[in-house]
Amino acid sequence: MTIAIEQPQICVNNGAEEKISGDPKELVLDGGFSVPETNAFGQTFRDYEAESERRKTVEEFYRMNHIHQSYDFVKKMRGEYGKLDRCEMSIWESIELLNEFVDESDPDLDEPQIEHLLQTAEAIRKDYPNEDWLHLTGLIHDLGKVLLHPSFGQLPQWAVVGDTFPVGCAFDECNVHHKFFEGNPDYYNPTYNTKFGVYSQGCGLDNVLMSWGHDDYMYLVAKENKTALPSAALFIIRYHSFYPLHRFGAYEHLMNEEDKENLKWLHVFNKYDLYSKSKVRIDVEKVKPYYISLIEKVIIVLSI
Ligand SMILES: [Fe+2]
Ligand SMILES: [Fe+2]
């Protein structure tokens, strides 16, 4: 089936289009879904400098990530995992598989992944009740994190999670912990260290290799399984951790017209991905039938 979507009629300000409610400690998203101003550790979201028990872990994570995510590494991983020959499983099975992991790159979250997926999807559903494709995107956007599981190679966290960025061209300075790229072999390679590198103006992000992780993997899975997800959903899945683009506007010179349209939806989505990482609890059994019905509309079983 095809899902019809309309472009959002909103004004987006670097993905942070929040309104302050009567209570200044509360943020209100588009349709009135209230979320706390702080994360599970009592700090503002994505504050990488905050003194916290996780700060050192996050920093070490990005050191490893920036050293190892090179053009050759990404090509190798895409070749290997793009075969999608590991197993077949339902969406709900893969959600349950994720439940044992905590994302080390994330300074905001210490909840099991299923909570995050359902919090994101439910917050979107409340504010955008007619965009069922976006609810489903919320539910599945992080499923690529199964790469952490032994059945999927048990990849280290630096090869699965964290902010993503293009490889094959210069690492933009707005990448978090940019200094660690000095340990990446591409940093000194003249083929890869210029503004365009191996790409060209407006070439389209589809033609750009992104650092390897759960985003690109789930994008490959959704695309190659010929799911009926719209292009905006695939865009959200592939670039939702691409903070240099959707927060800072870096790498825009690589986008084509379709990317620019889809970016509007990614800005909408990102607020929910970020701010739903709170202590809002979801009754899984209560909402499960709704999501199962959505899954059955566009995806049956995934080869992954
Ligand atoms: Fe993610
Ligand atoms: Fe997420």
Give residues with Cβ within 8 angstroms of 157, minimum separation 6. Answer: 61, 103, 104, 105, 148
Binding-site annotation: residue ranges: 46, 103-105, 116, 141-142, 145, 162-163, 214, 240-241, 273
| Cα(150) to centroid(ligand 1), Å | 19
Binding-site annotation: residue ranges for Fe cation: 116, 141-142, 214, 240, 273
| Cα(276) to centroid(ligand 2), Å | 9
The answer to whether residues 39 and 277 touch, using CB atoms and an 8 Å cutoff, is: yes
| Cα(202) to centroid(ligand 1), Å | 25
164 DSSP 8-state letter: -
Type of residue found at 86: R
Nearest to 107 by CA among 156, 180, 58: 58
| Cα(164) to centroid(ligand 1), Å | 10
- Distance between CA 159 and CA 236 in Å, rounded? 19
Q: Which segments within the chain are labelled E, that is strand?
A: 19-20, 26-28, 34-36, 88-89, 302-303
Among all chains, which residue has been given the structure tokens 């790159």?
A: 105
60 DSSP 8-state letter: H
Angle at 78 (CA atoms; ends 256, 194), nearest 5 degrees: 50
Could you tell me the residue ranges of all domains in the chain?
Answer: 19-45+52-303
Q: What is the pLDDT along the chain (304 residues), one digit of tens a residue?
A: 223 333 343 323 333 333 222 333 333 333 333 334 455 555 666 666 656 667 888 899 999 999 999 999 999 999 999 999 888 888 988 898 887 765 556 655 566 788 889 999 999 999 999 999 999 999 999 999 999 888 889 999 999 999 999 999 999 999 999 999 999 999 999 999 999 999 999 999 999 999 999 999 999 999 998 888 999 999 999 999 999 999 999 999 999 999 999 999 999 999 999 866 566 788 889 999 999 999 988 875 667 6
